[in-house]
Amino acid sequence: MTGTRMTGTLDLATLRAEFPILAERPYGKPLVYLDNAATTQKPRAVIDALAAYYEHDNSNVHRGAHCLAERATAAFEDAREKVASLINASREEVIWTRGTTEAINLVAHSYGGDTLKPGDEVVISSLEHHANIVPWQQVCARTGATLKVIPLHPSHNGELDLSRLEDIITERTRILALVQVSNALGVINPVAALIARARAVGAKVLLDGAQAISHFPVDVQALDCDFYAFSAHKLFGPTGVGVLYGRKALLEAMPPWQTGGEMIETVTFEASTWNQLPYKFEAGTPHIGGVIAFGAAIDWLNQQDRAAMAAHEADLLHYATEQARAFPGLKIIGDAPTKIAVLSFLLEGSHPNDVGTLLDQQGVAVRTGHHCTMPLMNALGIPGTVRAAFAPYNTRAEVDQLFAALEKVRRFL
């Protein structure tokens, strides 16, 4: 939250030493990595776990009749148990995917494609990533359902306008698919109120937790959602690994989305039957090493003081926001009171891409553009933003470096 000064008790020097990439010097400058909303960096424990799998246990999982397969399978399924514990789910409700995008597509095409019909409605919000827009557009076009959007608040501070919620989430609503935290602005949505409204009309709920999972604990039971999707690479794990949580009864009733490999029970030329959960939705050879390394990421995270991490991130956001408000010509985009540590902004008279390029030449890594939220940017009337997204390994000194670099950019442009 930007309004409260919070300080953590992290040993930043020790924490940063666990992330070898932070010693990089792009263009001979110390790396200031502020692109954490796109992907977090990986601690040594995760890198070592990935290498150890390929060096010692490389094998396919579940069906191999040898020692390597047994070891790989045990580590692979142990990682599933760790995810289940992390989000308070049962192991058969944890489906491995390639990322949040694939997890959402699985729900849209399997559950949505199987249940939606003409006259039904799917509700999303103006803050959605393309990955939680386009799959629903496709399924609605195929089924005859209608896609509706919760608009932005007229203040344009990044919050949603809930004043007409009962007119948007109605008896026709079958699915509410909602981002928990905006990737573009860092705004935390009031998911409890939105889920309560969905429950009042009997709608199912999918939450896109890609940006939430690394910033605060997630309990899918407390959230009362039906589906929850997130990616390992935004939680200090490898790319190419994601998670779909789904309520067991719903997953059992849903048809497979992809077929072949592990999701098969029996096959004849006349018909096939499907494996039990969670394997029913895991076609083909998975990213085994990535899953095992994600298990190591969860182990690493569980060893940290998450409350101290959250307090440190809040302090970084407060500190950066104070500097941003005092910076000539800088406009914060998405200045809502409840946010994760994301500062999205524009510099007067400058295109975001130019700002990002000049920051990069000074060793400061940020994200620029529409952040895969083109409808949001259109609603805000802007082409995109510069986004600085903080993680626990970032420091106040790096915030100072960001604004020192921005001052040089401002003078140059």
Span 343-361, pLDDT tens digits? 999 999 999 999 999 999 9
Q: What is the pTM of this model?
A: 0.95
Residues 344 and 201 in one domain: no
How far does Cα 11 stand from its chain's mean position?
Answer: 26
Domain residues for 403?
Answer: 12-42+305-412
What is d(CA 231, CA 246) in angstroms, rounded to the nearest whole number?
15
Q: Does residue 187 contact residue 127 with C-beta atoms inside 8 Å?
A: yes
Task: Quote the radius of gyration of the chain (alpha carbons, Å).
Answer: 22
Residues 124 and 199 in one domain: yes
Domain count, the chain: 2
pLDDT of residue 3: 33
Does 372 participate in catalysis according to the annotation?
Answer: yes
Residues 226 and 334 in one domain: no
Residues 57 and 35 in one domain: no
Residues 282 and 398 in one domain: no
What is d(CA 335, CA 159) in angstroms, rounded to the nearest whole number?
9
What distances in angstroms separate CA 358 from CA 28, 370, 402, 407, one per listed residue? 14, 18, 11, 11
Tell me if 198 is assigned to some domain.
yes
Tell me if 1 is assigned to some domain.
no
Tell me if 5 is assigned to some domain.
no
What is d(CA 279, CA 264) in angstroms, rounded to the nearest whole number?
8
Q: Which amino acid is at 105?
A: N
Q: Which amino acid is at 142?
A: R
- Residue 331's domain is classified under what CATH number? 3.90.1150.10
- Residue 216's domain is classified under what CATH number? 3.40.640.10
At which of 302, 323, 349 does a domain end? 302
Percent pLDDT > 90 in the chain is 96
DSSP structural state of residue 407: H
Residues 142 and 189 in one domain: yes
* Average pLDDT score over residue span 333-344: 96
Residues 135 and 67 in one domain: yes
Residues 206 and 74 in one domain: yes
**3-state DSSP assignment of residue 122:** strand
Tell me if 6 is assigned to some domain.
no
Give the residue from 139, 79, 43 showing the smallest Cα distance to 282. Answer: 79
What distances in angstroms separate CA 12 from CA 20, 130, 204, 316, one per listed residue? 14, 35, 42, 13
Residues 58 and 70 in one domain: yes
Render pLDDT for 358-401 as a digit per residue (tens, 0 to 9): 999 999 999 999 999 999 999 999 999 999 999 999 999 999 99
What is d(CA 172, CA 146) in angstroms, rounded to the nearest whole number?
10
Residues 147 and 234 in one domain: yes
Tell me if 278 is assigned to some domain.
yes
Render pLDDT for 233-251 as a digit per residue (tens, 0 to 9): 999 999 999 999 999 999 9
Within 8 A by CB and 6+ apart from 267, the residues are none
Percent pLDDT > 70 in the chain is 98
pLDDT of residue 6: 36
Is 91 a residue whose pLDDT tops 90? yes
**3-state DSSP assignment of residue 287:** coil
Answer positive or negative: Cα dihedral of 299, 303, 309, 310.
positive
**67, 140, 225, 372: which is the annotated catalytic residue?**
372
The average confidence (pLDDT) of the chain is: 96
Tell me if 206 is assigned to some domain.
yes
Residues 298 and 165 in one domain: yes
* Average pLDDT score over residue span 54-82: 95
Tell me if 193 is assigned to some domain.
yes
What is d(CA 147, CA 124) in angstroms, rounded to the nearest whole number?
7
CA atoms lying within 13 Å on the CB side of residue 56: 9
Residues 241 and 160 in one domain: yes
Is 5 a residue whose pLDDT tops 70? no
Tell me if 4 is assigned to some domain.
no
User: What is the pLDDT confidence band of residue 104, given thresholds at 50, 70 and 90?
Assistant: very high
pLDDT of residue 64: 81
* Average pLDDT score over residue span 77-87: 98
At which of 267, 302, 337 does a domain end? 302
At which of 259, 276, 302 does a domain end? 302
* Average pLDDT score over residue span 292-296: 98
